[in-house]
Amino acid sequence: MQQALKAAHLKRGLTSPNPWVGAVVVRDGQIVGEGATMPAGGEHAEAQALASAKSGDTLYVTLEPCTPFPGKRTRPCVEAITEAGINRVVIALLDSDPRVRGRGITLLREAGVQIEIGDGAAEAQTLLRPYLKHRETGSPYVIAKFAATLDGRIATAEGDSQWLTGEPARERAHRQRNWVDSVLVGSGTAIADDPSLTARPNGRTMARQPLRVILDGRGRLSPEARMFQEPGRTLIATSYEANSVWKARLATAGAQIVECEQSSRGLNLNQLLATLAQRGVLSVWAEGGGTVLGSLFDGDHVDEVWAFLAPSIIGGSGIAAVGGKGVTRATDALRLRESTVEMVGEDILVRGYTGAWSPQPQ
């Protein structure tokens, strides 16, 4: 199972909207075949592992094998497993997709296959959190990321923010961008920084780029923005009332336009996140600014936090990392679950789950 998990991890985020799954075939106690899910429409991990093994007696797989359902583009894995003569399947996790959950196990047992569930479950669940949330709730998995000083500032009162954290922290963020489905920022950040919002681990612009999502309810972003010259796709979330000429100019620049309802507090994030999920976006890497992050926290949309803290102080009326309504009592403050703290160069990375959503129990 550890080898299957390793194979799955290498495909993390590369198979959306399908889950990244690893599989290993064993014969007489020896690994004889291995596979991992290909991008949507390609072979699943089980099919790859079985094809490379030719024969075997046990299959280890990180997620419940898929079953027939309307619209399915690949052969159901339960059929491939039974036809290959596998007599034992060890499964880390049940599939959260309601079209599959439990049915894969039932069909395999009906075919006489011995089933074991739970080996590697904790690791598989951590690895597949974006997929699990998407299938359970119909909404993407949201990771709130910010780089701030020790006093929680992301910029000075004048808006200067480069560079708060060091190169190792920025490199770590690029490695995260390299696997997520989308990177989300507000128009204020997009205008102030004119970022490319591309994944560039080790300084290399990757062939696969996350979808850039810009929240711009007032129609402020220029079609000359740098991001429109970069590889990858850009989606502008705006309001129905925003200027139609501006929308047309952005569309000509290559942007996809998504219209959302708007209130005094900004765009309807429930509506936007549902739209992203319908388009196969499993994960959102939300980079700010503070107003956007505040809205995401206020709406209980955040599932995980990555806070890079620089060993510095801005003070004064510097811009806060997280805005929004916040809380009125310290006892109501959001506390992270399963939090970890590590040094990334000279900076501190605090990570953890918010508790707004947790995977279904197995």
Q: What is the DSSP string of 73-100?
A: -S--HHHHHHHTT--EEEES-----TTT
Is 46 one of the annotated active-site residues of the chain?
A: yes
Structure confidence by residue, pLDDT tens digits, 28-54: 999 999 999 998 888 999 999 999 998
The ranges of the chain with pLDDT < 70 are none
Give the pLDDT score at 306. Answer: 98
Residue 150: per-residue pLDDT: 94
Listed in order, the ranges of the chain carrying CATH 3.40.430.10 are 139-353
**Looking at residue 333, what is its pLDDT?**
92
List C-alpha distances in Å: 50 to 1, 133, 160, 179, 216. Answer: 15, 29, 55, 27, 48
pLDDT in tens, 280-293: 999 999 998 899 99
Q: d(Cα 192, Cα 233) in Å, to the nearest integer?
A: 20
Class of CATH domain 139-353: alpha beta
CATH architecture for residues 2-127: 3-Layer(aba) Sandwich (3.40)
Q: How far is CA 277 from the centre of its chain?
A: 11
Q: What is the pLDDT of residue 161?
A: 72
Q: What's the pTM value of the predicted model, to 2 decimals?
A: 0.94
Per-residue pLDDT, 73: 76
Domain with CATH 3.40.140.10 in the chain: 2-127
Catalytic residue among 43, 46, 259, 287: 46
- DSSP for 231-250, written as a single string: SS-EEEEEETTS-HHHHHHH
The confidence score (pLDDT) of residue 156 equals: 86
User: Which pairing describes strands 266-267 and 262-263: parallel, antiparallel, or unpaired?
Assistant: antiparallel
Chain segment 74-98, per-residue pLDDT in tens: 889 999 999 999 999 999 999 999 9
d(CA 75, CA 69): 10
